[in-house]
Amino acid sequence: MRIRPTLAPALALAVTATLAAAVPATATPATPTTRHASCPQLSKSLKWYGTNRDKLQRTIDERGVCSHPELAHGHGQRPVAAFDWDNTITKNDVTDATLVWSLQHDKILRPAHWRDTSKWLTPAADRALTKACGTDVPVGAPLNTSTNTACADEIFSIRDEAKTHGGAEAFAGTWNHRRTVPQYAWIPQLFAGHTVAELRSYAAAARTRALKAPIGSTVKVGSHTVPAYVRYYDQQRDLVNTLRRAGFDVYIVSAGSEPVTEVWSAGIGFDKKHTIAIRSVLDKHGRITYENQGCGGIGDNKGEAIPYVDGKRCWVNQEIFGIKGAKAWQQQDFSHRIALGGGDADTDVTFVGDATGAHLVLNRNKNEFMCRAYDNADGRWVVNPMFIEPLPRKSGTYPCSTAAHIEPAGGFGPVRRADGSVVPDQRDSVYGG
């Protein structure tokens, strides 16, 4: 979190100095000649699709202590792995779980004007929220969303569908669609007025409830039925721990709210430094504001540069490799790219595609991501069904040649390879039973 106004310059200098002092880089690939005790192995008791365990193990062996034994003694440049969080490390969305819990426990504070919460919120959304949530509650006081289901329903509709409950567009205007999406940026902004510690406590309570809820269970939020449960994937927990034993520096990069993601990532050993998500700017009293920290030369802002699609690349480059300014938006040289990346959705396609060793994809039928994965241009894409409640085979084809690439100005176009050629439409071939 960034604190402003008086502490910001000192904190920024401290962070810059820390990153500059310890910039990890991806180890040069090598092929291990003999597998021995210093080659940490993925568990053979956990099920992966097809030969995916072997494909991931190849990258672990190539880049880790098996081929670079000096890493075991703290020498050499540690390879980097980075993963999305929601529906990649866990089944289901932990930000949504936190929002649902917060709505059920009256934790959203009434803003003076709903339009203040997002620079892109439409007049229709402002009117719908004002009508549903009312004006009887004082500004800055908790809304009665546990009993006012219309208010809770309106908030969740806008988060989930970017539309009001009545179907009107909730966000409008201009933004780079490969750097942000307003309803994702809106979640931290909804918690404006709370301290980080308060938001973490809500996430912790939601986590406890979601881990206890049976797999497959649901909960109602207004007219919405959403998953009530969240689970850590055993395979991903094992993968993360195996990478660490092999000398990798492992990070989370999420488009969720950072305090929420930190509560969950700590459950498998990630500290704050290794958890990257949407970072709110704090006021002088330590409370969350409507502003977020920026990336790639973009300063504090209302959500223009969150870890989303190309924004995830920017945050990886800036926070892990110490690359500042506009250059952070660009793909870097081999030594300043992650060795292994994992994700489940189009928001992950750029940073996972930057990986030099393996691109792990959990199949949730997201067009651009699956087009890249099935095209498999470098032969290192690893597609796996979700480990819990996997999706069935997608009917038809992914529209790779026409309408799968998220365009910066909005809309969709063809997915292109590095040489400019168009990826042909792809059929779904890795799916659940």
- Position with higher pLDDT, 220 vs 28: 220
Q: What is the pLDDT of residue 233?
A: 98
Q: Looking at per-residue confidence, does 27 or 73 come out higher?
A: 73
- Asked if pLDDT for residue 30 goes beyond 80, the answer is no
Q: Single out the residue of 331, 292, 284 nearest to residue 312, CA to CA.
A: 331
Provide the pLDDT confidence category of residue 36 given band limits of 50, 70 and 90: low
The per-residue pLDDT of the chain, averaged, comes to 93
- Name the token pair of 361: 């994809």
pLDDT at position 17 over 90: no
| pLDDT value at 249 more than 80 | yes
Closest CA to 369 of 331, 321, 328, 312: 312
Residue 31 has pLDDT above 50, yes or no: no
What would the mean pLDDT of 385-392 be, rounded to a whole number? Answer: 98
pLDDT of residue 222: 86
22, pLDDT greater than 90: no
* pLDDT tens figures, 208-239: 999 999 999 999 998 899 999 999 999 999 99
Segment holding 330, helix H or strand E? none
Helix (H, G, I), strand (E, B) or coil at 278: strand
What is the average per-residue pLDDT within 71-85?
95
Whether the Cβ atoms of residue 312 and residue 344 lie closer than 8 Å to each other: no
Of 3-17, 117-131, 244-258, the range with the lowest mean pLDDT is: 3-17
Q: Cα(374)–Cα(363) distance, rounded to whole angstroms?
A: 11
Is residue 298 a contact partner of residue 305, using CB atoms and an 8 Å limit?
Answer: yes
Span 114-122, mean pLDDT? 98
Q: Report the amino acid identity of residue 304.
A: E
Confidence of residue 381 (pLDDT cuts 50, 70, 90): very high
For residue 213, give the amino acid letter.
A
Residue 413 pLDDT level (bands cut at 50, 70, 90): very high
Q: What is the pLDDT of residue 104?
A: 97
Entry pTM: 0.92
Amino acid at 356: T
149-161 vs 94-104: helix axis angle to the nearest 10?
Answer: 160
Q: How many CA atoms lie within 13 A of 395 on its CB side?
A: 0
Query: 381 vs 28, which has greater pLDDT?
Result: 381
pLDDT category at 37 given cuts 50, 70, 90 is low
Q: Does the structure show a pLDDT above 50 at 27?
A: no
Cβ partners under 8 Å of residue 106, min gap 6: 142, 143, 144, 145, 146
Check pLDDT > 90 for residue 35. no
Burial class (CB in 10 A: 0-12, 13-18, 19+), 42: buried
Token look-up 């502003």 returns: 291
Range name among 2-6, 20-24, 159-163, 327-331 with the lowest pLDDT average: 20-24
Please say whether the beta carbons of 90 and 230 come within 8 A.
yes
Residue 272 has pLDDT above 90, yes or no: yes
Q: Is the pLDDT of residue 260 over 50?
A: yes
**Residues 6 or more apart whose Cβ sits within 8 Å of residue 355:** 337, 338, 339, 340, 341, 380
pLDDT of 38 strictly over 80? no
User: For residues 259 and 247, what is the distance between their CA atoms, to the nearest angstrom?
Assistant: 27
pLDDT > 50? residue 18? no
Query: Rounded to whole angstroms, how far apart are CA atoms 15 and 21?
Result: 10
- Is residue 23 predicted with pLDDT exceeding 60? no
What domains can be seen in the chain, in order of their start residue? 2-89+233-395 (3.40.50.1000), 94-227 (no CATH)
Residue 283 has what pLDDT?
97
First to last CA, the chain: 43
Residues in the chain: 433
Going by C-alpha positions, the residue among 162, 178, 368, 157 that lies closest to residue 255 is: 178
- Cα 324 to Cα 8: distance, rounded to the nearest angstrom: 17
Range list of H helices, 297-366: 310-319, 349-354
pLDDT of 100 above 60: yes
The upper half-sphere exposure of residue 255, i.e. CA atoms within 13 Å in the direction of its Cβ, equals: 32
Least confident of 12-16, 73-77, 170-174: 12-16
